[in-house]
Amino acid sequence: MTANTNLLIVLAVGVALLVVGMGARLAWRRARTAATRPIVIARSAGSPLRTLLVGAVVVGVQWAVAAHDPSPRLLLAVLAVPALFAGASIARLTSGPATVRNGRKEARR
């Protein structure tokens, strides 16, 4: 082998190492960006059967208390507490998707 052939081999190996290094650096950057990118999670409602059963239990308790003692304070308490829970659930479901961040960022749910 001549000196020119050795130089060409060294140059080819050097260019190949440079290309591999740049590819590895690009892959590492993309992986880091993907790890810190926000992931959107859609909120989903619960089972319709479970919703109907819980609603039936709440209505049954309200009806039993209203039929047993129709005092205004008791009726207000029996009707207001489930309404507050229902309002909070509806507000949470209609607020949109939650953003969850991976990596060093803080998570929001």
Residue 66 Cα distances to 76, 77, 81, angstroms: 10, 11, 14
The reported pLDDT for the residue numbered 44 is 56
Q: Say what the pTM is.
A: 0.41
Q: pLDDT band at 80, cuts 50/70/90?
A: confident
Burial class from Cβ neighbours inside 10 Å (0-12, 13-18, 19+) for residue 68 reads exposed
Domain-wise residue ranges, the chain: 1-36, 39-101
**51-66 per-position pLDDT tens digit:** 777 778 888 888 888 8
Q: pLDDT band at 72, cuts 50/70/90?
A: confident
Residue carrying the six token digits 């050097």: 14
The reported pLDDT for the residue numbered 73 is 83
